[in-house]
């Protein structure tokens, strides 16, 4: 059995530009440090009008660098060379129109732009500016031109209320988006092995209603499905997410809500019941290359339904149940040779034996067996672990990790037939 281990890519260099959104970067720095990553920060001269070097130095537990340090040497080497080679991933947030223009044309007149040009690592761009500035022809030309360089990746911008009281595009991506994109880049190092592929993902737990307020359900939050969607988007896929995820949770993933991220694209369809999920999956299935059924779909539904809330005294003493269609088995029967179908098996106790049976019976290409009776795994947890089994019965063990990391391991296995360590 192959086993996945955490990658040893931990060094993130953050370049902060001059914009009010700079305050959001403090949360990014703090969160990345708490996650065990090494963080270094460069502030442009304009950025220091919004936050101080002392603030980011405190959050990153390391000296913050400014243009005043440009000629400082580290280990006898120029600072911009040392920082550029040190970084596994570079983040520019907020990316201003000024810095965007410089990078587009390969100009370097400060510590930040010199460091970016001295590095070969992936660069994550998080632009932020007034809507009229963002929509200028010159800015959009620079943006599209820079993204033609495969080294550069984007997160946002989103739309909403801006600091200038304008409502429109140009709002910097929220910290959870930026953090997830950084973690993805640390894993993939910028590869887009799902570019152009259509990935269909189901997520969340379905609800089978007895009346408008009562239902049969399960504890699934859809976090694993959201992580799979995020990872697929970061790897360049065109994603369709069929989900029954509570609004409060999906709002923590603005990339999902906004519908677009990086070079891939995103369409989200909200459903409630198993039948609604079935119809949406069948509609989107024919054009999909990779299908990941991570949703916890109900097995049964109430045999009766009332359009009005039942009074407590009217509730049946015994509830008749009816089976619901087996979506995954139906997709297995419809699958074409060019399609890859992945199922999930949430289990207690022995997770492998029932997963193998499910893999074969439902004609799957892969199945992800994960325990729901162990700490830090399963429903509602931010972490997970699993054994992935392919249709040749090869087993790949994914040790405890974040659900986003696990999503990337799953795609590594599917794309390469092995774990990318």
CB 363 within 8 A of CB 375: no
CA 290 – CA 285 distance, rounded (Å): 9
Alpha helix (H) ranges present in 66-174? Answer: 79-86, 97-104, 111-117, 131-134, 137-147
**CB-based contacts of 292: which residues, under 8 Å, 6+ apart?**
199, 200, 201, 202, 225, 228, 342, 410
For the record, the structure tokens of 142 come out as: 């620079």
Helix (H, G, I), strand (E, B) or coil at 341: strand
- Annotated catalytic residue, options 147, 164, 216, 321: 164
Place of tokens 């304009």: 46
| DSSP per position, 20-53 | TTHHHHHHHHHHHHHTT-EEEEEE-TTGGGTS-H
Q: Which of 186, 180, 132 is nearest to 156 (CA)?
A: 180
According to the annotation, is 299 in a ligand binding site? yes
Q: How far is CA 197 from CA 59, 289, 295, in A?
A: 39, 6, 21
According to the annotation, is 392 in a ligand binding site? no
Q: How far is CA 161 from CA 13, 141, 170, in A?
A: 28, 24, 9
According to the annotation, is 326 in a ligand binding site? yes
According to the annotation, is 88 in a ligand binding site? no
Helix (H, G, I), strand (E, B) or coil at 94: strand
By residue count, the chain amounts to 421
For the record, the structure tokens of 291 come out as: 């299908």
For the record, the structure tokens of 339 come out as: 């399609």
CA 319 – CA 298 distance, rounded (Å): 16
Is-catalytic flag, 164?
yes
Q: How far is CA 10 from CA 64, 368, 388, in A?
A: 18, 27, 26
**CB-based contacts of 379: which residues, under 8 Å, 6+ apart?**
218, 219, 220, 221, 296, 346, 372
According to the annotation, is 301 in a ligand binding site? no
CA 296, distance to chain mean position in Å, is 19
CB 230 within 8 A of CB 203: no
Helix (H, G, I), strand (E, B) or coil at 397: strand
CA 188 – CA 122 distance, rounded (Å): 10
Binding-site residue set for CTP: 299, 309, 325-328, 344, 358, 362
Would you please indicate which residues are annotated as catalytic (active-site) residues? Answer: 164
Which residues belong to the annotated binding site?
299, 309, 325-328, 344, 358, 362
């Amino acid at each position: 059995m192959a086993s996945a281990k955490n990658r040893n890519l931990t060094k993130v260099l953050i370049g902060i530009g001059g914009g009010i959104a700079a305050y959001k970067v403090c949360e990014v720095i703090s969160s990345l440090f708490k996650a065990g990553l090494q963080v270094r920060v460069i502030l442009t001269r304009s950025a220091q009008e919004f936050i101080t070097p002392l603030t980011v130095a405190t959050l990153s537990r390391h000296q913050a660098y400014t243009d005043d340090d440009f000629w400082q040497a580290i280990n006898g080497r120029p600072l911009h060379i040392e920082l550029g080679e040190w970084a596994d991933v570079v983040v520019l947030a907020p990316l201003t129109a000024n810095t965007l223009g410089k990078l587009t044309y390969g100009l370097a007149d400060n510590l930040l732009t010199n460091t970016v040009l001295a590095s070969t690592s992936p660069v994550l761009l998080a632009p932020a500016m007034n809507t009229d500035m963002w929509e200028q022809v010159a800015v959009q030309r620079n943006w599209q031109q820079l993204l033609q360089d495969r080294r550069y990746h984007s997160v946002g911008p989103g739309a909403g209320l801006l600091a200038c009281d304008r409502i429109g595009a140009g709002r910097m991506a929220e910290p959870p988006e930026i953090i997830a994109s950084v973690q993805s880049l640390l894993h993939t190092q910028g590869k887009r092995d799902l570019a152009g592929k259509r990935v269909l993902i189901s997520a969340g737990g379905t609800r089978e209603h007895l009346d408008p307020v009562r239902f049969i359900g399960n504890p699934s939050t859809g976090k694993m499905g959201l992580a799979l969607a995020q990872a697929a988007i970061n790897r360049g896929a065109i994603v369709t997410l069929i989900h029954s995820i509570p609004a409060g949770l999906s709002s923590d993933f603005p990339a999902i809500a906004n519908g677009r991220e990086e070079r891939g694209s995103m369409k989200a369809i909200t459903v409630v019941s198993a039948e609604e999920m079935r119809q949406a999956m069948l509609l989107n299935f024919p054009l999909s290359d990779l299908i990941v059924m991570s949703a916890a779909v109900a097995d049964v539904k109430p045999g009766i339904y009332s359009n009005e809330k039942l009074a407590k005294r009217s509730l049946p003493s015994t509830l008749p149940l009816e089976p619901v269609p087996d979506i995954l088995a139906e997709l297995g029967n419809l699958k074409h040779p060019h399609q890859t179908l992945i199922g999930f098996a949430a289990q207690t106790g022995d997770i492998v034996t029932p997963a193998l049976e499910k893999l074969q019976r439902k004609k799957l290409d892969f199945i992800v067996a994960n325990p729901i009776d162990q700490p830090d795994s399963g429903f509602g947890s931010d972490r997970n672990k699993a054994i992935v089994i392919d249709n040749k019965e090869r087993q790949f063990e994914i040790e405890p990790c974040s659900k986003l990391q696990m999503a990337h391991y799953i795609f590594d296995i599917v794309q390469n037939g092995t774990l990318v360590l």
